[in-house]
Structure 1
Amino acid sequence: MNKEHILDSWQKSEKIPRLPEYLQEIIRICFHNTVQEKSKALLDFLELHLEAHRPILETNVFSTKKPITTPEDFFLDRNIDILRNLALMEWFAEGKFFDILDQIEDDVYKQESFISAYTAFCLSKLLLLQNPQNAFLLSCFKDIGLVILARTFPSLFNGVNRLSGTDRFEPVEQAKIIGVYPGELSAWILQKWGFPEEFLLPLKSGKLMGDQNTMSGVIYFSRYISDFILNGEIHVKYKTLENLFYKLFNRNARDLQDLLVELIRILPQQASFFGYQQLEDLTIIEILKDHLDIFDKDLLSYNDLREEVMKAHRRLRKQAKEIYILRDQLEKNYIKDSITGLYNHIYLREFLLQKIREASRYEYPITLLVFDIDNFKAFNRDFGYAAGNELLKQVARLVTQNIRQSDILARYGGDEFAIVFPYTGLPHSRAVAEKIANLISTATFEDSFNYKAHQLTISIGFASILPEQSLDIDEKLISLVIKALRQSQKTGGNSITQATA
């Protein structure tokens, strides 16, 4: 595969993303200054986003020489570069140019590009480059060509994706598979978007050494930093970063530490604005957790350390909340019945086995009671399943309100309910069974679907065990109680049967 073949295919393809009209206009104004009158689409965009952008315009990445108070202020001095980057980053973060069938992981790609952009900005300021905003934009879109490659030539993209270690960042190694430097493909797309060729020259370079290619070196190095922040030392060792930093820019290890600290100061706030929630709690200590020995005593100020602690605290609170939500979902999906909200038979068996073991160990009685609603199948047939489900809910609420907190009511299946009564034996268990039967038979159950009120009866089977008679397994107890329940049903319902071994 060669460059001409790929670009010829892209020229004819409809899979190349197009910029919205307002972005095309911003790029024309930025580089060509050919638009005197601003279009309605652009002015509407600025009017709509001015207030939303105001907080980020106060950060050092997008700070302007003079405060932005009207949309026209964006077109003063070099504010247009800031507008360009803000608008493109917002469009990029939305990810509308991704296709659901793309083989690239869009969230990972967007995070990597986001970090690369801010790395390039901070590094450009450290190196005193003329326009850090240009480095920001070029680093953000340096791999847009790979996105389109994944869409149009998936076998080539997969070949690049299989590169291991630092080879996955090397343009020379990538070119061996694709037949062209990936940066040239990205530059072609950006040129289609209206960026001038001379602006895109740093993307096209495969050779990164020398003062004349400092911007190329910044873009190249940003790949390493973003992967290190996202993945630790899986692909990039910290020592590799130090050596490459010195080789490219003739800067020492302390300068690299300063760069990382500055970057982590900036990223969380910017990530929050653009919706990258995974990056909001980044900390320098977390990123360099395996290399804390490299810190000089004055690298982090007291305020930095306090912020690190606060971030860690926020992350722990966030994780605790996520664990609580997951546990709640687990209960709903695994151990809770979706109709009644009661525990299901899975949890009932686990709870019963636990209580049998406790009863055997601490020598207290335990009772298992199972009941079902008489003629429930006929009820569903006559009044409908929606009314039947509502009836099950009402029965569940009524019984729950009339048992102890230590007792467990579960939906065993269909119209069958089970109750485990710890610390309950004969003769009290018989009285409890009679209480449950009377509770149901004297209640009135409203049917909002058929505008009726219903009276019910139930059939009950129960068994009580004493420690010395403890059954070793819960299955045998359940089997005995279900057998007793069937006996109650055979008598015509509305009856109670005590299980016998």
Structure 2
Amino acid sequence: MNNKVKMDYFSAIKNELKAHFSLLLQDVKILKDKMSGAGREEELVHLDRMIKINNSLFQKLDKLLEIYTLDTRFSNVTRRKVSINKLLSDVSRELMRYVEEKKVKIKLGLLQKDIYLNLYEEAIKNTLFWVLLNIIKHAVPSSDLIIIVNEEDKIVKIKISYLRKERDKTISNYRSLEFENLILERYLKIEEGFYTIKSGDNGACELIVNLPLKMSKDLDKSIPQTGKKIVDIKEIIKDEKELPSLSVVAAKVVSMATSDDVSASQIAETIKKDPALTAKILKVVNSSFYGFRKQITTLSQAIAILGLSAVRTLSLCISVLDRFPKKSDDSFNYQSFWERSLASAVASKIIAGKLGEKETEEAFLAGLMQNIGGLIFAKYYPEEYAKILEEHYTLGTPIREMEKRKWGIDHAEIGNVLSTKWSLPEILTKSIRYHHSPEEAKDESEKIRRTINIVHLGDIIASIIYDVNKKSNLTLLREKVSQYFQFSEEDIDEIMNKVSSELEEAAQNFEISVSETKSYAEILQEANLELGKINLTYEQMNRELQKAIAKAEKLAEELQKANKKLKEQAITDGLTELYNHRFFFDLLEKEFSKSQRHKLPLSCIMMDIDFFKVFNDTYGHKQGDIVLKEVARILSESVRDGDIVARYGGEEFSVILPKTEKESARIVAERIRRKIEETAFPGGLEKGQVTISLGTSTMLNDEYDTPGELVEAADKALYKAKENGRNRVESFD
């Protein structure tokens, strides 16, 4: 048979749970029958089996959920370039100890020329590991497990051949019960791939995993290229003949601005020779870019007020923009390039002003031109460079590494050559050269390093506005701002809000088309919704939002509500409003570590409502929920403020008691037991109809290596309380 596998995920989960709990039920019955015997060895064997089944189920569910959320906004996992040969070698190596146990031999046939695909690396590695481990589990001992990978019709095919033992006759529809296949199906669905299974009468099986090559941005990117393209770009840069030049007027202005004996009228006369440049300079001077109250009508007046340096910078800004395309075509999105460059320029200017710099135009020009070298790549190889930019913007792959692999040179080096050719001031050429790597400019003057840092921050702010990975870029901005200038959170708020508000007008002044500019509050909300939560404390997030209320009060209010709900859902149980199982272990780990560090006692109570299943069957689930909520209330009222109460799962609850010794923990547990026994629960229940069994464990002298062992000990004491008649407290000895 040869079929493309399709699955109903939720039905498969239901069947898997049903099968596992059937096995658990059988073990419980066996334990019950053995209770009358004197020995306990056989009972422990069955108990160990129950624990292993539970652990296996938990791990499988965890992996299933991990794969299921990969392509949703709840995942913070990103793709990266993965070598197929290395992937299969790593997985095979991790399987060696299982292979040795089963005496199965792995034979691996790799690609002669490796292929690199953009994959969720950990997810594909875990998926293949689980699938192969399941195959090994059911393979005939001393047989071969053959894994061969090849490429056919633009599909990477991973063929896995093996001999399978006869299937367990007690379980029907075997394939649908295999979580490994379920996880594989889900992952391949995300990657637009599929898998097939071939099986024969003699137990020979073949699993074929198919991954489409279209997932790769550039299959040969990881291999340094030495072809004609590298030589061409380097020759162009070396030759400088085909590099764009400034206009005659702009070049003359740059030259005159560096001379001490040039008057304002001479520079004005030079600029007037280019009427279009003159009009654009006056347009910018009279805009909110400078915010002068009186209108400036002549170039001489502009030079007198702004100074030669500022006018030179404006001339350069306008001339540079005129030397390159601004409208997009089918092969390269120039509009997006200039939009990002302008955002970086505006951000750099605002940061410079915040630092008290007098000539903020210089920072503006440096921000605008920092990526100018990339336009040389776009001119000669537009489609290939567009793909590199897309990968950088979406996956965060370092752009300079990709450029150097492709052409042997990066855009910062090209920009440095261009700015030198144009005889730009050193502060601009150095800012362009080191804007991605300020740490490499340690030997430059303080003023130059300061401008490089400003431009570097401007580039990060542009990434926050336009890139997919807003969370990581926001975190990077805070880290670098603290490192360079010690700005406060309020300063960052102010800068980001100014960039959002000034970007659109700057685009009009310099005739650059931009898409609708988002406010800072919208950017924060987008980051929060896309990535789960921004890497900030909730106090910081609230402060960010409060700064944005003036412009987006309704939006900020909605975001606050969403964050509050998200936090509650993440750490609390929806029914009882106690901490949930996951957060319970987070808190327990912290308390466990603290107790070990300071040599303090730590106690744990595990408890279970007696005969709750029977209660549910008798009174209904609605009444059962009422009991669970009331038990949660009683627990919360029965402990100290520093104690931690959680719903462990189902009708089971847990309490962490820091700085509490064994006898004190038993007293607390007894108090809880008595209160519940003496409570007449809502719904007409009498006192004593609801009781609870409790088990306690205590760490005094590092008796336990992990928090899980402490919980397991309390759980064993709870089991003993049930065994001894229920409605009682037992402590683990």
- Given the two structures, how large is their TM-score scaled by the length of structure 1? 0.50
Shift of 1:242: 2.5
Q: Which has the higher contact order (CA 8 A, sep 6+)?
A: 1
* Matching of residue 121 in structure 1 with residue 344 in structure 2: no
Q: CA RMSD in A?
A: 4.2
CA distance, structure 1, for counterparts of residue 542 and residue 249 of structure 2: 46
Kindly indicate whether the alpha-carbon contact (under 8 Å) linking 2:352 and 2:454 is maintained by their aligned counterparts in 1: yes
Q: What are the within-5 Å matches in structure 2 for residues 330-341 of structure 1? A: none
Query: Equivalent of 2:438, from 166, 186, 208?
Result: 208
Q: What are the within-5 Å matches in structure 2 for residues 294-333 of structure 1? A: 294-296=541-543, 299-300=547-548, 302=550, 304-305=551-552
> What's 1:30 paired with?
257
* Matching of residue 251 in structure 1 with residue 487 in structure 2: yes
Q: CA 1:3–1:218 in 2, change beyond 3 Å: closer, same or farther?
A: farther
Shift of 1:27: 1.4
> What is the aligned residue count?
307
Secondary structure at the counterpart of residue 246 of structure 2: coil
> What's 1:283 paired with?
519
Letter in 1 for 2:339: Q
Query: Equivalent of 2:274, from 45, 66, 71?
Result: 45
> What's 1:396 paired with?
none
> What's 2:335 paired with?
107
CA distance, structure 2, for counterparts of residue 34 and residue 152 of structure 1: 42
Q: CA 1:156–1:47 in 2, change beyond 3 Å: closer, same or farther?
A: closer
> What's 1:150 paired with?
378
Query: Equivalent of 1:186, from 411, 415, 432?
Result: 415
Shift of 1:228: 1.9
- Deviation by residue 1:179-223 (Cα, 9 ceiling, x = unmatched): 455323212101212213454223223642479422212212222
CA distance, structure 1, for counterparts of residue 375 and residue 348 of structure 2: 20
- Deviation by residue 1:150-203 (Cα, 9 ceiling, x = unmatched): 334679846853654575566567556654553232121012122134542232
- Deviation by residue 1:301-341 (Cα, 9 ceiling, x = unmatched): 74x459999xxxxxxxxxxxxxxxxxxxxxxxxxxxxxxxx
Q: CA 1:122–1:169 in 2, change beyond 3 Å: closer, same or farther?
A: farther
Secondary structure at the counterpart of residue 150 of structure 1: helix
Letter in 2 for 1:122: I
CA distance, structure 1, for counterparts of residue 481 and residue 493 of structure 2: 11
Shift of 1:145: 0.9
> What's 1:456 paired with?
none
Secondary structure at the counterpart of residue 128 of structure 1: coil
CA distance, structure 1, for counterparts of residue 332 and residue 475 of structure 2: 29
* Matching of residue 221 in structure 1 with residue 457 in structure 2: yes
> What's 2:244 paired with?
17
> What's 2:504 paired with?
268
CA distance, structure 2, for counterparts of residue 290 and residue 155 of structure 1: 29
Shift of 1:259: 0.8
Query: Equivalent of 1:68, from 293, 296, 305?
Result: 296
Kindly indicate whether the alpha-carbon contact (under 8 Å) linking 1:142 and 1:183 is maintained by their aligned counterparts in 2: yes
Q: CA 1:251–1:306 in 2, change beyond 3 Å: closer, same or farther?
A: closer
CA distance, structure 2, for counterparts of residue 271 and residue 84 of structure 1: 19
CA distance, structure 1, for counterparts of residue 502 and residue 329 of structure 2: 33
Shift of 1:225: 1.2
Secondary structure at the counterpart of residue 288 of structure 1: helix
CA distance, structure 1, for counterparts of residue 237 and residue 323 of structure 2: 20
CA distance, structure 2, for counterparts of residue 255 and residue 22 of structure 1: 39
Secondary structure at the counterpart of residue 16 of structure 1: coil
Q: CA 1:198–1:220 in 2, change beyond 3 Å: closer, same or farther?
A: closer
Kindly indicate whether the alpha-carbon contact (under 8 Å) linking 1:28 and 1:35 is maintained by their aligned counterparts in 2: no
- Deviation by residue 1:211-252 (Cα, 9 ceiling, x = unmatched): 942221221222221122124546854333323332343333
Secondary structure at the counterpart of residue 250 of structure 1: coil
CA distance, structure 2, for counterparts of residue 223 and residue 199 of structure 1: 15
Query: Equivalent of 2:369, from 141, 151, 163?
Result: 141
CA distance, structure 1, for counterparts of residue 404 and residue 483 of structure 2: 22
Structure 2: 5+ residue stretches without partners: 1-225, 529-537, 557-733
**What fraction of aligned residue pairs are identical, expressed as a percent?**
14
